[in-house]
Amino acid sequence: MSKIVYERPKSLTDAQFSYCPGCTHGIVHRLVAETLDELGIEGTTVGIAPVGCSVLAYEFFACDMVQAAHGRAPAVATGIKRVNPDNVVFAYQGDGDLASIGTAETVHAATRGEKITVIFINNAIYGMTGGQMAPTSLPGQVTQTSPYGRNVDTDGFPIRICELLSTLDGVALAQRVTVDSPKNVRAAKKAIRKAFEYQIEGVGYTIIEVVSTCPTNWGLSPVDALQWMRDKMLPYYPLGVYKDVKAEGFGNVAEAAAARAAALAGTVESAPAGDPSSEGGAE
């Protein structure tokens, strides 16, 4: 009897991916689809497509999909999840969509602890619109709008999204992964599945950041782009778990927030006399 060891996930349509050679969107799409299949939730899942290279995600995922305006995927996901709390809702966003025009929606959905899952693709550049500098572009990185390299004196520093969101009480899971090798693909799959499981359990907001490549706009071959990502991006965007409330022993973000508040209150109460922190802060 033959044994099937590899097949197209049922949560992907038969449409052929339209991504550039070497782009990692296709790998991440497959990991999300495999997760939906394994958890048996394709029929109750709603995905939010962004504006960007993955704008056509609604052509590739077999679950229900909604197209959001640029940067508004977390707001759309929030509305859908609140109206239909039994649905599993995920937003799939790039760095321009999530970390630039959608920063406010991202931060506020996270701090509210919206029970949604965000798959965040960080390739350090605007892809679909021609390779402009993104909020995640590295210091010194040459793009169409930074031909002499990103100047941190005028353009500021890149935003580290997982580190930023991990400070918010509403976040249940914030983890950064990549898909440049079989080992890392397996780790990314495990993280994505955990994010969806946490949503199903009602733990809180979950985000998986995938450090990715853009060979076309980087001007590199697919192989060289992967190496550039390893050499340049991973030192600035280290892989790892930045917050996991269940691993910390809490059942959900509310329990974790309460414990944190109690710990902070204890710190204030034990502050030495005359310490501004014991009187509600400095004047």
Q: What is the pLDDT of residue 272?
A: 67
Nearest to 212 by CA among 242, 178, 174: 178
Q: Are 234 and 178 in contact (CB under 8 A)?
A: yes
Which amino acid makes up residue 257?
Answer: A
How do residues 128-163 score in pLDDT, each as one tens digit? 888 999 999 999 999 999 999 999 999 999 999 999
- Percent of the residues in the chain that have a pLDDT greater than 90, as a whole number: 88
Answer for the pair 212, 121: CB distance below 8 angstroms, yes or no.
yes
CB 136 within 8 A of CB 124: yes
Return the CATH fold of 25-248.
Rossmann fold (3.40.50)
Does residue 270 carry a pLDDT above 90? no
Every domain of the chain and the residues it spans: 25-248, 252-283
pTM to 2 decimal places: 0.93
* pLDDT tens, position by position, 187-233: 999 999 999 999 999 999 999 999 999 999 999 999 999 999 999 99
- Tell me what the mean pLDDT of segment 14-20 comes to: 95
What pLDDT shows up at residue 273?
Answer: 61
